[in-house]
Amino acid sequence: MIKVNEDYLKLPGSYLFSTIAKKVNAYSQANPDKKIIRLGIGDVTQPLCPAVIDALHKAVDEMAVKETFMGYAPDLGYEFLRSTIAKNDYTQRGCEIYADEVFVSDGAKSDSGNIQEIFAKDVKIAVCDPVYPVYVDTNVMAGRTGTYDAATGLWSNVIYMPCTAANGFSPELPKEVPDLIYLCFPNNPTGATITKTELQKWVDYANQNKAVIIYDAAYEAYISEDDVPHSIYECEGARNCAIEIRSFSKNAGFTGTRLGFTVIPKDIKDENGVMLHSLWARRHGTKFNGAPYIIQRAGEAVYSEAGKAQTMEQIAYYMNNAKYIYEGLKSAGYTVSGGVNAPYIWLKTPDNMTSWEFFDKLLETVNVVGTPGSGFGPSGEGYFRLTAFGTYENTVEAIDRIKKM
Ligand SMILES: *Cc1c(COP(=O)(O)O)cnc(C)c1O
């Protein structure tokens, strides 16, 4: 008889967003005349910008001609894109990162989920609480997290770093030293950021303790404040301890077209001198056949002058929504944070409601969908996430409905 990977069976319940979708579908089937506004899932709504569309068309046409047709892409990414990324995202920001340290992929979700594969089964991970669910769940699937305590929502073999109002939603250095530290700034779900000085402390801590930081910078493009680092490689010593993951989804609307990348500097080595870079390259070679040529050309266009200007305009559009949500809720008496360097607003539920109670109330009384903070971890209980990715009209309508609630 076939046996499944029992580590998968340890995962509690279903993936957060499937649970939300089920609840929303049930409500809308029972109430077909209600207009539901979704400010829940972190998905963009603005179409791809003209510079990207032009690049897509051009690449499609190349595929129709024998001389320019492209088959399998190089599994680490085309040189034209790797060098464009290295130059624009790193060299021009004063970071020492080379094109051959950039691994192009189909997105940050798969990279942030798969990266744990190159580490030993007994490495100890540390995560923020609340946190993007992919980091812990993929370590559960890999059998690394110990046992789950349904009462607390915590895994026995994971170090949790609470991000609460008391610490401004920015974690403190853990007392028990982890091997692998997941950080995400600007943060999903809280919208919090970290200053360069604070991030430098993490890099120093990792180097002192021979730990590795996985830095998820999917929201880098939303940074508006000067002292917030765009890359962990702005910190001294990060080449020795940090892996950075990025995505084209949130900065350029590639959630449906799929493109991301991971940077692994060649200086990061394990205790025997093995380069993490080599292992990730080996993994890509075996399990990934390259992001599509057409999409990599579209990604390259994001860095063109027109592409930069157009994607910046889209980000400004979303951040204008963020401002409306933030200020609207604040004026209605809610305690809110985030929304300045990230498209997420993190609010305290009123009247000590649980996150799910507030979810149900919003859905049923004003037909607005958000994300319960507790779905991101126990410290998210009593909080709620709204995203700025809707249309401006829907965002205004949703907030105005909440204000009248
Ligand atoms: C949206 C998101 C991603 C996923 O990005 P894709 O490139 O679309 O897979 C990764 N990390 C965080 C924190 C995100 O919010």
Residues 220 and 249 in one domain: yes
Residues 233 and 250 in one domain: yes
Q: Provide mean pLDDT across the span 228-240.
A: 98
Q: What is the pLDDT of residue 19?
A: 86
Per-residue buried b or exposed e for 349-366, using 16+ beta carbons within 10 Å of the residue's own CB: beeeeebbebbebbbeeb
Tally of structural domains, the chain: 2
CA of 250 to the centre of ligand 1 (A): 8
Q: Is residue 1 part of a domain?
A: no
Q: What is the pLDDT of residue 41?
A: 79
Residues 152 and 29 in one domain: no
Residue 302: helix, strand or coil by DSSP? helix
Nearest residue to 404 (alpha-carbon basis) of 370, 362, 371: 362
Average pLDDT over the chain reads: 97
**Dist. CA 136–CA 378, nearest whole Å:** 13
Residues 320 and 220 in one domain: no
Judge contact between 168 and 198, C-beta under 8 A: no
Residues 58 and 180 in one domain: yes
On the question of pLDDT at 380 being above 80, the answer is yes
Residues 293 and 350 in one domain: no
Question: Does the CB atom of residue 108 touch ligand 1 within 6 A?
Answer: yes
**Dist. CA 323–CA 381, nearest whole Å:** 24
On the question of pLDDT at 163 being above 90, the answer is yes
Record the pTM.
Answer: 0.97
Pocket test of ligand 1: the residue of 249, 295, 296 to mutate, having most ligand atoms within 8 Å of its CB, is 249
Q: Which conformational region is residue 339 in: left (phi greater than 0), alpha (psi within -120 to 50 degrees), or beta?
A: left
Domain boundary among 273, 304, 335: 304
On the question of pLDDT at 13 being above 80, the answer is no
Pocket test of ligand 1: the residue of 43, 182, 190, 247 to mutate, having most ligand atoms within 8 Å of its CB, is 247
Confidence of residue 126 (pLDDT cuts 50, 70, 90): very high
Tokens standing for 107? 């997105």
pLDDT in tens, 299-317: 999 999 999 999 999 999 9
Domain boundary among 245, 274, 304: 304
Q: What CATH number should be reported for the domain holding residue 353?
A: 3.90.1150.10
DSSP 308-365: HHHHHHHHHHHHHHHHHHHHHHHHTT--EEE-SSSSEEEEEPGGG--HHHHHHHIIII
Question: Does the CB atom of residue 342 touch ligand 1 within 6 A?
Answer: no
* Residue numbers of the domain that contains 360: 6-47+306-404
Residues 60 and 208 in one domain: yes
